[in-house]
Amino acid sequence: MTNFLPISKDDMKERGWEQLDFVLVSGDAYVDHPSFGAAAIGRVLENRGYKVGIIAQPAWQNVGDFKTLGKPKLGFLVTAGNIDSMVNHYTAAKKKRKDDLYSPGGKGGYRPDRASLVYSHRIKEAYSDVPIILGGLEASLRRFAHYDYWTNKVRRSILLDAKADLIVYGMGERQIIEIAEALESGLPVKEITFIKGTVYKTKDKERPYKPLFLPSYDEVLESRKKYAESFLLQYKNMDAVVGKPLVETYRTHFVVQNPPQEPMTQSELDSVYSLPYARTYHPIYEEKGGIPAIKEVKFSLISSRGCFGSCSFCALNFHQGRVVQARSHRSIISEAEKFVWEPDFKGYIHDVGGPTANFRHRACKKQEEHGVCLDRQCLFPNPCKQLKIDHQDYLKLLRKLRELPNVKKVFVRSGLRYDYLIHDKNDQFFRELCEHHISGQLKVAPEHISSEVLKKMGKPEKEVYERFVKKYYKINKELGLKQFLVPYLMSSHPGSTLKEAVELAEYLRDLGYMPEQVQDFYPTPGTLSTCMYYTELDPRTMEKVYVPKSAREKAMQRALIQYRNPKNYHLVYEALVKADRLDLIGFSKKCLIRPRQEANSYNRKKKAKERNAVTKRTGR
């Protein structure tokens, strides 16, 4: 018997099982590692004595694969996988991706678009009377009416479109046990309406207790202002202490979101990561090259959950929440000790982090009793006076990991909030970060430098980033190290006109830096920025927001960030003309590009030189 969960009838027989309690259907290949949601939920249920099997990446064209493990006694659990299936399949420019790191050999095509919805439909065809519980990022962020970037429409709650019974939103370990116990007790799934962190549908308007009614689906369909109002109500009710039940009205049903689950205690979180994971992909994938996604997480450690950073373009507020939950040092070190002696461990722990690596505790003491603040953020526009800025616990953890036998280096590769770091009056962590935990370069995310764009992003002013840069290089110089910073930048975010895009290009010119990679803003469900993108309103103020939407303008904004690339010349030229910045076309040091005639002459000479080189080399 392997230590993987059953994936076939033979596996079930080997365990002496005739019928499973739950069948977990996932859009990812089966990787039994705590970084994969399906594995974590499966192991949590197994730990409570439930019989769980996994159907990974079933062929969705018919019901055959969905019957592989038979009819479960209690229900089907459905997830699209660790990544939204539409994001997995399409770039921000809506171009089809060929690769899928969560599939055999890293190849695409193993899951459908909108996997949660498609899988649910096939399960209904196979077993119409078995409860279906949706979970994972894809379903979690589509629990109410939501803007769908790929069709440019507002879609209904996925609960209705999938014809499922419940949605588990958030991380889900507590909810799934409560659901399992309710189903096992004989309670019909339609009566499971009381579990925090879940969404259900009902025809009874009186079923939820003292709810807030969101604008109806018909209203948000007709009015972008109503959509923005609905989003803000949802945004403000994502805390376990202050959150209220929310109801969205449809013509035949009410979709009800119960308040979020309370954050997990440290011991609960530790227990999730102590379960007997195989910590690798199932052997069935070996012949096809394995599952590439395991490479980054196999020798990495998840330190925490939750994030109080509240970047507008991030969906963490709607999924993990703003309250940070941290594992104990003992739990993390115990996990590290399991892999440091593995044959393929080369001495490098790739990461110790989470959504934000340097968040290891709640933002402030008030959160425990009063919850998160509804009308202010912890770091934006400036750090709250109540914010606890302290890296000592994280530093102690990293020191302990550095001391483990067979460990050469412990890296920090998760996102670091540089504004949180720069506001720490104690430089001890910053110095040891530079000395021990960077592999030549540190990646940080200023995202932009324009005040107008940064306000919409919920990111600090560029002066904060510049302070961080100055201090980073100062510390490295004192340590005798030559390490670099790689800033992540985003183009075409709501609020960015060509003026702001040119401003960013000028900043990069003065810096003498051209990024190799640029992230176009991607309007995915569950983010404040996506709400701004669709409604062209900031839901916090209801002020109008400029949104670059045409493919041409987005291409121009992206090109401006990489203005030195000859392939981008014509786009940059067009952008500068449209922005009335002809002063940046010329021969001075301040100019971004040469005049078109000169550029064409330069390109002709360059091509002629390349042809001559080829002729000289090949004789042709």
The 3-state secondary structure of 287-329, one letter per residue: HHCCCCCHHHHCCEEECEECCCCCCCCCCHHHHCCCCCEECCH
Stated as kind and residue range, the H or E segment containing 363 is none
Give the model confidence (pLDDT) of 125-166 as tens digits: 999 999 999 999 999 999 999 999 999 999 999 999 999 999
The three-state secondary structure class of 523 is coil
With contact defined as beta carbons under 8 Å apart, do 107 and 57 qualify?
no
Domain positions in the chain are: 9-200, 299-415, 440-595
With contact defined as beta carbons under 8 Å apart, do 35 and 297 qualify?
yes
Give the count of alpha carbons within 13 A of 499, CB side only. 8
Helices (H), 81-128: 85-89, 115-126
pLDDT of 2 reads: 54
Please, which pLDDT band fits residue 209 given cuts at 50, 70 and 90? very high
Same fold, 299-415 and 440-595: yes
Give the model confidence (pLDDT) of 127-136 as tens digits: 999 999 999 9
DSSP per-residue codes, 254-290 = EEEEPPPPPPPPHHHHHHHHTS----EE-GGGGGGT-
Question: Nearest Cα to 460, choosing from 507, 417, 430?
Answer: 417
The CA dihedral of 100, 300, 340, 421, to the nearest 10 degrees, is 150
First to last CA, the chain: 64
Question: Nearest Cα to 211, choosing from 242, 272, 256?
Answer: 256
Stated as kind and residue range, the H or E segment containing 224 is helix 224-235
pLDDT of 586 reads: 95
With contact defined as beta carbons under 8 Å apart, do 143 and 101 qualify?
no
Give the model confidence (pLDDT) of 351-405 as tens digits: 999 999 999 999 999 998 899 998 889 999 999 999 999 999 999 999 999 999 9
Give the model confidence (pLDDT) of 534-553 as tens digits: 999 999 999 999 999 999 99
Task: State whether CATH 3.40.50.2300 applies to domain 9-200.
Answer: yes
- For domain 299-415, which architecture applies? 2-Layer Sandwich (3.30)
Residue 208: both structure tokens together: 């939820």
Question: Nearest Cα to 101, choosing from 190, 180, 208, 28?
Answer: 28
pLDDT of 607 reads: 65
Question: Nearest Cα to 361, choosing from 328, 324, 416?
Answer: 324
Residue 1 pLDDT exceeds 50 = no
Residue 315: both structure tokens together: 């969906």
Question: Nearest Cα to 237, choosing from 372, 412, 398, 91?
Answer: 372
With contact defined as beta carbons under 8 Å apart, do 539 and 528 qualify?
yes
Separation CA 559–CA 570 (nearest Å): 9
DSSP per-residue codes, 419-460 = HHHHT-S--HHHHHHHHHS-SSEEEEEEE---HHHHHHHT--
Separation CA 84–CA 319 (nearest Å): 13
pLDDT of 510 reads: 95
Please, which pLDDT band fits residue 415 given cuts at 50, 70 and 90? confident
pLDDT of 320 reads: 92
Separation CA 608–CA 593 (nearest Å): 21
Separation CA 113–CA 59 (nearest Å): 13
Give the model confidence (pLDDT) of 10-32 as tens digits: 999 999 999 999 999 999 999 99
Give the model confidence (pLDDT) of 265-304 as tens digits: 999 999 999 999 999 999 999 999 999 999 989 999 999 9
Diameter over CA atoms, the chain: 85
With contact defined as beta carbons under 8 Å apart, do 312 and 532 qualify?
yes
Determine what percent of the chain is predicted with pLDDT higher than 70: 96
Indicate the pTM of the whole model.
Answer: 0.93
Q: For residue 260, which phi and psi values (nearest 5 degrees)?
A: -65, 155
pLDDT of 376 reads: 87
Separation CA 576–CA 458 (nearest Å): 27
Q: What is the mean pLDDT of residues 589-605?
A: 75
Determine what percent of the chain is predicted with pLDDT higher than 90: 93
pLDDT of 400 reads: 98
- For domain 440-595, which architecture applies? 2-Layer Sandwich (3.30)
Give the model confidence (pLDDT) of 466-488 as tens digits: 999 999 999 999 999 999 999 99
The mean pLDDT of the chain is 95
Q: Are strands 75-79 and 31-32 parallel, antiparallel or unpaired?
A: unpaired
With contact defined as beta carbons under 8 Å apart, do 64 and 15 qualify?
no
Separation CA 147–CA 215 (nearest Å): 15
pLDDT of 603 reads: 57
pLDDT of 596 reads: 83
